[in-house]
Chains A and B, each alone.
Chain A
Amino acid sequence: MPQSKISTEKLNLYYGAKHALKDITIRIRSNMVTALIGPSGCGKSTFLKSLNRMNELTDGARTEGKVYLDGEDIYGSGMDVTRLRKRVGMVFQQPNPFPMTIYDNIAYGPKVHGVRNKEKLDGIVERSLRQAAIWEEVENQLNRTAMGLSGGQKQRLCIARALAVEPEVLLMDEPTSALDPVSTLKVEELIGQLKGKYTIVIVTHNMQQAARVSDDTAFFLMGEMVEFDTTARLFVHPADRRTQEYITGKFG
């Protein structure tokens, strides 16, 4: 069994007085896809953001407990947020390329981290776009604005942008909920291709999607992690009655 890439211990998160995450303890396996499911407001996106400290951008957010990346506490004093976010990339719900050229979108991250060499940047741009399975579609328009792409292309561009800084973990916050079915399928295929190389954590509303793309699934409800198991087992033999009710569509 692969070792865990990220683990949390009694992670609690508060937004002001609101207790948004309660005692989350989880071990996310390396180079696997872990899906986080649950109804709206259950804390799954909040949990995702706590893994690269994006939760800190929300006013009044306070975190207790531990989050380990390769055994290192990411909330520890020795952890540099810039380095952390280079290692733990993120893709958002809305496809949101920067209003610049396709090339500059991809080159943005590497430039932030100090890559100046043009040839090296060219290489990174091509590699990232290939990895995100969008290279063939855009190779002749790298210097055009990314705003002209379709929604699905934009989202794969955003994935490429995240890959360009060579992360180890990729966090995806409902990456297909704004996409049409064909684009969704492409992104799901892409997740399948990427998982050997990256540890992927994906938040999704769509249980079929979780079943299709993930190896492990965690079910969140009202800030608690109700159940965490391999996807195969959780969807077929859920241990908790609430999990069963959710995946069979009784609520949510």
Chain B
Amino acid sequence: MFSLCAFTAVAAVFSITLYMIANGVPAIWQVGWKEILFSSVWQPVARDASFGILYVILTSVVGTFLAVLLGVPIGLFTAVFLAEAAPAWLAAVIRPAVELLAGIPSVIYGVLGMMILNPWMYCLEQMLFADSLTHQFTGGANLLSAVIVLAVMILPTVISISEAALRAVPPELKASSLALGASSVETIFRVTIPAARSGILTAVVLGVGRAVGEAMAISLVSGNSVNLPLPFCSVRFLTTAIVSEMGYAGGLHRQVLFTIGLVLFVFIMVINGILSGILKGERQG
């Protein structure tokens, strides 16, 4: 009975994998993998249809990278503050707030981003591109908005896992550094964080995973047209490409959407691979 229940998860993973491959691969044969991965023209319903998702892939890569670039330092410093410096009463305020942040449904992030962030971005856009003749105005729904929303969304993951890693550093290690005359800041940056690095890396990788897989929030704030991932361009991610077209797509178009899903799937698998590599290195190290 128990083993049957336990098998449910395995069966789910297995069947999802099979399903994704079975539905994603045919389009690769029909369109050609080079055409799909390296062409930048996405016109799935044109008479002479073109299914290039290069810009979509780039958007996911660049958007995730920037979100991590923004979110990880903030998250790491928050974790350091919580683990090392914060007085108990302040930690008691911050920690539940972080946990709550993790529990907020992603569609709420999206709505707030749309209502608050996008208008600001639009102001910024109007200032920056006031004299531009070529810029397509997006109303603030652009890559930058998506990056900011994603960065906030990965914060809870980064904070809670990094904090746990920092807390696991033996106190004697910090004491040794302090006893050599190092200041507490030197100790944090040169001993505590390096000692917790595998845990912090895990936090980063999980944050990447969350950012890559997020769809709902960014579909509301990123504008959703296929473009090069430039800060003020309206962009489409791998996830939002599926979300926005699956409803009406048919035939080959629908199959290509499954191929996009397959690409996303491969991304997540690679991230998981990296993660288990880190954890393995941890056990050996």
Which residues of chain A have C-beta atoms less than 8 A from B173's C-beta?
96, 98
Residues of A143-198 whose CB lies within 8 A of B: 145, 147, 158, 161-162, 165
Whether A203 is near chain B, meaning CB under 8 Å from some CB there, is: no
Is the CB of A83 closer than 8 A to any CB of chain B? yes
Q: A98-B195, A145-B285 are in contact. Are A112 and B186 (CB under 8 A)?
A: yes
B285 & A161 in contact (Cβ 8 Å cutoff): no
Is A85 touching B178 in the complex (CB atoms < 8 A)?
yes
Question: Using a Cβ–Cβ cut-off of 8 Å, how many residues does chain B contribute to the interface with A?
Answer: 18
In contact, A112 and B172 (Cβ under 8 angstroms): no
Bits for B161-183, please: 1 = Cβ < 8 Å to A, else 0. Answer: 00000000010110111111111
Q: Name the B residues within 8 Å of A57 (CB-CB).
A: 175, 178
Q: In the complex, are the beta carbons of A54 and B285 less than 8 A apart? A: no
Instruction: Tell whether, in the assembled complex, residue A108 and residue B190 are in contact, meaning their CB atoms are under 8 Å apart.
Output: yes
Q: Is the beta-carbon distance between B194 and A100 smaller than 8 angstroms?
A: yes
- Among A87-95, A134-142, A207-215, A237-245, the stretch that binds chain B is A87-95
Q: Are B176 and A98 in contact (CB under 8 A)?
A: yes
Give the shortest distance, in Å, between A235 (CB) and chain B (any CB).
Answer: 30
Q: Which of A86, A99, A100 contacts B181 (CB 8 A)?
A: A86
- In chain A, what residue has the closest Cβ to B88? A59
Q: Please indicate the chain A residues that have their CB under 8 angstroms from the CB of B177 in the complex.
A: 98, 108
* A66-106 with Cβ < 8 A to chain B: 81-86, 89-90, 92-94, 96, 98-100
Chain B residues within an 8 Å CB radius of A147: 285
Q: Does A109 contact B (CB under 8 A)?
A: yes
Chain A residues lying within 8 Å of B172, measured Cβ to Cβ, are: 92-94, 96
Q: A57-B175, A108-B190, A145-B285 are in contact. Are A161 and B180 (CB under 8 A)?
A: yes
A113 within 8 A of B: yes
A98 and B181 contacting across the interface, CB-CB below 8 Å: no
Q: Is B180 a contact partner of A99 (Cβ separation < 8 A)?
A: no
Contacts of A54 in B (CB 8 A): 175, 178-179
- Beyond A57-B175, A96-B172, whether A165 also contacts B181 by CB under 8 A is yes
A52 at interface by CB-CB < 8 Å: yes
Residues of A within 8 A of B176 (CB): 90, 92, 96, 98, 158, 161
Give chain B nearest CB distance to A175 CB in angstroms.
12
Residues of B within 8 A of A145 (CB): 285
Asked if B20 CB lies within 8 Å of chain A CBs, one says no
Chain B residue contacts of A90, Cβ below 8 A: 175-176, 179
CB distance from A54 to the nearest CB of B (A): 6
With an 8 A cutoff between CB atoms, is B37 at the interface? no
Q: How far apart are B120's CB and chain A's nearest CB, in angstroms?
A: 43
Q: Provide the residues of chain B in CB contact with A85, threshold 8 Å.
A: 178-181
Which of these, A82, A89, A108, A165, contacts B183 with CB under 8 Å?
A: A82
Chain B's interface: helix, strand, loop or mixed, by majority?
helix
> In whole angstroms, how far apart are the Cα atoms of A73 and B44 in the complex?
80
* Any A CB within 8 A of the CB of B61: no
Residue of B170, B173, B179, B195 contacting most chain A CB atoms (<10 Å): B179
Residue ID in chain A nearest B186 by CB atoms: A112
Complex contact A112–B285 (CB within 8 A)? no
Report chain A residues within 8 Å CB of B175.
Answer: 54, 57, 90, 92
Give A187 to B46 CA distance when docked, in angstroms: 81
Taking a contact as CB atoms closer than 8 A, the residue among B180, B186, B190 that contacts A165 in the complex is B180
Within 8 A of A (CB), among B60-82: none
Do A109 and B181 touch across chains, with their CB atoms under 8 A apart? yes
Bound-state CA distance A94–B195 (Å) is 16
B191 is an interface residue with CB less than 8 A from chain A = yes
**Residues of B contacting A165 in the complex (Cβ-Cβ under 8 angstroms):** 180-181
CB distance from B93 to the nearest CB of A (A): 19
As a 0/1 sequence over residues 111 to 155 of chain B, the CB contacts with chain A under 8 angstroms (1 = contact) are: 000000000000000000000000000000000000000000000
- A46 to B: closest C-beta gap in Å: 14
> Known contacts A94-B172, A145-B285: does B179 contact A112 (CB below 8 Å)?
no
Bound CA–CA A90/B285 (angstroms): 26
For A112, give its contact among B170, B182, B194, B195 (CB under 8 Å): B182
Shortest CB distance B197–A (Å): 8
Q: Identify which of B170, B178, B194 contacts A96 (C-beta below 8 A).
A: B170
The distance in angstroms between the C-alpha atoms of A82 and B190, with both chains bound, is: 16
- Could you tell me the distance between the alpha carbons of A112 and B16 in the complex, rounded to whole angstroms? 53
Query: Apart from A54-B179, A90-B175, what 5 extra A-B contacts exist at CB < 8 Å?
Result: A98-B195, A108-B180, A108-B182, A112-B182, A145-B285
Interface, chain A (partner B; CB < 8 A): 52, 54, 57, 81-86, 89-90, 92-94, 96, 98-100, 108-109, 112-113, 145, 147, 158, 161-162, 165
3 residue pairs, one from A and one from B, having the closest CB atoms: A90-B179, A109-B180, A85-B181
Sample 18 A-B pairs with CB under 8 A, ordered by A number. A85-B181, A86-B180, A90-B176, A92-B172, A94-B172, A96-B170, A96-B173, A98-B176, A98-B177, A98-B195, A99-B285, A100-B194, A108-B177, A108-B182, A109-B182, A112-B182, A162-B180, A165-B180
